[in-house]
Amino acid sequence: MQTTEPADAVLVQTREWQWNRYLKAALHLPDWLDLGLEHRTRFETYDHPWRRSQPAGQTDSQIQQRSRVRLGLNGSHVKFLFEGQDSRVYLDGAESYVTTAIRDEMDVLQIMASFTFNNVLEAGLRTDLHVGRLTMDFGRGRLIIRNDYRNTSNAFDGVHWQLGRDKQWRVRLFLVEPVLRDEVRPDKQSKRSVFWGGYVETAHIPRVRLNAYYFGLNDKRSPDAGRHRTYSTFGTRLYDDPKPGRIDCEIESVVQTGKRGHIDHFAHFQHIDVGYTLDLPWSPRFLIHYDYASGDRNANDSQHSAFDTLFGARRFDYMPTGNFGPFFRSNFSSPGWRVIAVPCLGCEVQLKHRVWYLATSRGAFGRNGLHDLTGGSGNFLGHDLELRAQWRTNENLEFELGYTHWFKGSYFDRLPDSAGLPPGGNRDSDYFYIQTKFRL
């Protein structure tokens, strides 16, 4: 098991770097030198496409592969890390849905130096400074995350600093330029896109953990000034870790202000989970969810209201993404429930159901290209049922499969021809995937 902290240990979740280094052991490498390999292959398919850009009746089947290599030099105070990532797709055709969220061949995911000092000012504090290209996880990952299910990952060029005391509290600050992915050419950053922020975590409140944060974005990459984003995002998150025999919850509330082009921007997002874990075999856990993300009520007025999820992920809250993932954290209202069970060590089974509505019927349906400016199509997007099973044999090998049926709502039956819904796009969609991941 890899126990020596790498350069990105406090930036991402532990599962992203902690596994048995069989390759390192086979090569008899010294403790200060880290070498790790990871590969994931996933087959996924869905039918009855709904995106504006897709052809009628096409079943989109793909094999997505993601390979990573980590090479690190770990000193007591100074560490270096290189992480390469190769994201490819097979079986895709000219009419398949492929973006830089799926394909990004042979690129640098992370290359950084970190500087760590313990017992700062003899007060038991730890501080870390990271410089270079890095990935980051903040909170649950709804606004900033190192992507897991997605075939590619967000990365940033810049500086990150943290100060904290054990698991009691910490403060994080960063100033970065988001890395712009390219399917085949080297990824790069743009000085016309800058991202910064601060994040505070504390466990001082009994039974509850509190996060509070601010993120700023100034994105002027587009030649169309109307698409420029200058946003300030403020949020809080309260949560309680689930334990058998008691109720737990998570509440996250986010407000976003600024400018979209030359008009004012004001949007918000709300999330709540309430769960209960039974003290029984299989540890069955029951949850109810509700999410709301504001949408733009009128594309021609002086206020923009569609929430921007920045660099967050959706899979853990909503449904699988990959080449599917119709729901984005913008312009929707969605209640739902979930049941989770652990039938054996390393196994987990989930059954989830959510109902989907547009928050405003005149707003766009996520990033799918569908938009009824009149609102005449209504707001009922349907509901989905998802079954998912995971088996993690150990930190080095895991298997996962899942099935989702999306019962499409009346919105798709009522869309005008000008909206560009593919013929048959109003029919229910079935999505299936199976994947395996191994690490050396």
Given a cut of 80, whether residue 87 has pLDDT beyond it is yes
Residue 246 has pLDDT above 90, yes or no: yes
Q: Over 70: is that where the pLDDT of 197 sits?
A: yes
Domains and CATH numbers, the chain: 112-439 (2.40.160.100)
What are the tens digits of pLDDT across the range 284-294? Answer: 999 999 999 99
> At 342, phi and psi to the nearest 5?
-120, 85
- Judged against a pLDDT cut of 90, whether residue 299 lies above it is answered with no
Is the pLDDT confidence value at 3 over 80? no
Q: What's the pLDDT at 44?
A: 98
pLDDT (tens digit per residue) in 338-378 = 999 999 999 999 999 999 999 999 999 999 999 999 999 99
Residue identified by tokens 């130096």 is 113
H or E element that contains 215: strand 209-219
pLDDT of 226 strictly over 90: no
The candidate with the shortest Cα–Cα distance to 189, out of 266, 260, 111, is 111
User: Quick one: average pLDDT of 115-130?
Assistant: 93
93 phi-psi bin (left φ>0, alpha ψ -120 to 50, beta other)? beta
Q: What is the pTM of this model?
A: 0.96
Please give the average per-residue pLDDT across 258-273, as a whole number: 97
Q: Is 302 exposed, middle or buried (0-12, 13-18, 19+ CB in 10 A)?
A: exposed
Report the percent of the chain where pLDDT is more than 90. 90
> Which residue do the tokens 């079954």 mark?
387
pLDDT class of 93 with cuts at 50, 70, 90: confident
* Two structure tokens written together for 356: 């989907």
Tell whether the model's pLDDT for residue 57 goes beyond 80: no
- Over range 107-130, report the average pLDDT: 94
Phi, psi at residue 257, to the nearest 5°?
-130, 170
| 64 and 322 Cβ atoms separated by less than 8 Å | yes
The yes-or-no verdict on residue 383 having pLDDT over 90 is yes
Using 50, 70 and 90 to split pLDDT, how confident is the model at 58? confident
pLDDT exceeds cutoff 90 at 167: no
- For position 95, what pLDDT does the model report? 81
Strand pairing report for 263-277 and 397-408: unpaired
What the block records as the tokens of 331 is 């312009």
Is the pLDDT at 415 greater than 70? The verdict is: yes
Averaged over 321-325, what is the pLDDT? 95
Among positive and negative, which fits the CA dihedral 220, 137, 323, 436?
Answer: positive
Structure tokens at 355: 């109902």
CA torsion sign for 213, 327, 186, 226 is negative
Q: At residue 12, what is the residue type?
A: V
- Mean pLDDT, range 48-72, rounded to an integer: 91
Angstrom distance (rounded) from CA 138 to CA 62:
30
Q: What is the pLDDT of residue 121?
A: 84
